[in-house]
Amino acid sequence: MTEVAYLDHAATTPARPEVRAAMAPFLDEVYGNPSGIHAVARRAKTALEEAREEIAEHLGCAPGEVVLTGGGTEADNLGVRGAARAARSGTGGTGGTVVVSAIEHKAVAEAAARVARAGGTVRTVRVGADGVIDLDHLGAVLDDTVVVVSVMCVNNETGIVQPLAAVAERVRAQAPRAVLHTDAVQAVAWLDPVVTTAPADLVAVSAHKFGGPKGVGALVVRDGTGLEPDLVGGGQERGRRSGTVDVAGAVGLAVALRVTAATRPVDVARIGRMRDRLAAGLATVPGVVPTGDRARAVAGSHHVRVEGVEAETLLVALDREGVCAAAGSSCASGASAPSHVLTAMGWSRRAAKEAVRFSLGHASTDADVDRALAVVPRAIARLRGAPVAAGARAGESG
């Protein structure tokens, strides 16, 4: 079997051993429905509420402000649409304005579009060639009709950190009715959400991006923030998200947050060094151009354009040689349209189709980088029909 270098941690990470061990009892002997009142149900409910307390601690909120969801996409939808609906109800049904950045995940952009179809308005904020939101343009589109502003913490394609505190300052000053939502799905592995997301009223996270299980997420809803549910019928999560709660998933999310918080300083330094070595090695390949302001990117992200080579073609070639990477968002893999993130940054359609995302995570090793530096330059040269550039493997370790 070919050795695999997995460089797609921004799409999903392997579950941490501590997470698997913690979840196991709730997939077997602790099987009760936490909404019940008998002893079996109470065991599940106790575990759920203990997990909720730990989730809240690591997200910087109160336990009652945590709404457990089926992942980041649901958390984004509930945050954007739920807040917009609540604002609309408070004004007798009139539509409000939702403001989003041009580089938001589709879960946010399409949720905003749904608000528009329901009678609201959407305004989109420009970003610069550096991949960072244009704060002056944000200020220009804010007014007292705005009810929701959504700006992500870390872009899922480029890995570039957005200035959330500065965004919040503009929103508070110029759109007094608005709540601030942030998609922090790509942030938790690299940045302390207690600090980073503190300015936001609504915060979406997803467990599988930092060593937790897939299909589990959370939305922080700060006290006093209006929210109308997407899912109704059972009244769980204080009426904000009906449906039987995944107890095992909640436990896994809590443990993933705990382990990530404990190991983050060491992991960020270690992974950052590996990312820098990967970047240095790929920089020796002609026509491999980093995207945006890489100084603002999180430690696990390296996003580049490979001039003259379509990303999908390159990714197939890399996969055959045991290197896993991605083009654009994992949710848009295989799509024929170019990345909306890159076109918002001013890239042409052709250039956007030549972009590749290499992302490292908690399970990454120096061997992964070694293999990538051995395979990627060779694959690029082969697809271009040219010899491998001298020094292309200079970043390999001995």
Q: Is residue 397 part of a domain?
A: no
Give the total number of structural domains in the chain: 2
- Are 178 and 62 found together in one domain? yes
Q: Of 259, 274, 291, which residue sits at a domain end?
A: 259
Query: Looking at the structure, do residues 213 and 342 belong to the same domain, yes or no?
Result: no
Q: How much is the average pLDDT of 373-398?
A: 71
pLDDT tens for each residue of 177-187:
999 999 999 99
153 is catalytic: no
pLDDT in tens, 201-254: 999 999 999 999 999 999 999 999 999 999 999 999 999 999 999 999 999 999
Provide the residue range defining the domain that includes 276: 5-12+264-384
Tell whether 209 and 277 lie within a shared domain: no
pTM of the full structure: 0.94
Is 392 a member of any domain?
A: no
The answer to whether residue 343 scores a pLDDT higher than 70 is yes
pLDDT band at 337 (very low <50, low <70, confident <90, very high): confident
Q: Which of 61, 153, 324, 331 is catalytic?
A: 331
Per residue, the 3-state secondary structure of the chain, as one string, reads CCCCEECECCCCCCCCHHHHHHHHHHHCCCCCCCCCCCHHHHHHHHHHHHHHHHHHHHHCCCHHHEEEECCHHHHHHHHHHHHHHHHHHHCCCCCCEEEEECCCCHHHHHHHHHHHHCCCEEEEECECCCCCECHHHHHHHCCCCEEEEECCCECCCCCEECCHHHHHHHHHHHCCCCEEEEECCCCCCCCCHHHHCCCCCEEEEEHHHCCCCCCCEEEEECCCCCCCCCCCCCCCHHHCCCCCCCHHHHHHHHHHHHHHHHHHHHHHHHHHHHHHHHHHHHCCCCCEEECCCHHHECCCEEEEEECCCCHHHHHHHHHHCCEECECCCHHHCCCCCCCHHHHHCCCCHHHHCCEEEEECCCCCCHHHHHHHHHHHHHHHHHHHCCCCCCCCCCCCCC
Using the 3D structure, point to which of 259, 278, 307 is the last residue of a domain: 259
Confidence at residue 390, expressed as pLDDT on a 0 to 100 scale: 46
Q: Which CATH number do you get for residue 354?
A: 3.90.1150.10
Same domain, 29 and 112: yes
Q: Are residues 37 and 165 in the same domain?
A: yes
Q: Does 373 fall in a domain?
A: yes
